[in-house]
Amino acid sequence: MKVKLTLVKSPIGYSRSHRESLKVLGLRKIGSSVVREDNPATQGVIRKCAHLLSVESVAE
């Protein structure tokens, strides 16, 4: 299963670790989207930055 992550809010003003986590995912600008494999590592980043992201499941 895969998930589509979209950055909907700016990480400016949040901790450095939140900004670094988004950078690792490949999300740089508001409105940018990536499709990632749904695994425990990705779920951890989603939980950490849930207030900045929109998450949708994608059919394979």
Count other C-beta atoms under 10 Å from residue 22's C-beta: 21
Confidence band of 59 (pLDDT split at 50, 70, 90): confident
pTM: 0.89
Region 8-18 average pLDDT: 95
Average pLDDT over residues 25-34: 95
Which residue segments constitute the domains of the chain, with CATH numbers given?
2-58 (3.30.1390.20)
**Which pLDDT does position 60 carry in this prediction?**
73
Rounded to an integer, what distance in angstroms lies between the CA atom of residue 15 and that of residue 37? 25
CA distance to 19, 34, 40, 59, per residue, from 30 (Å): 13, 12, 24, 24
Rounded to whole angstroms, the Cα distance separating 31 from 41 reads 22
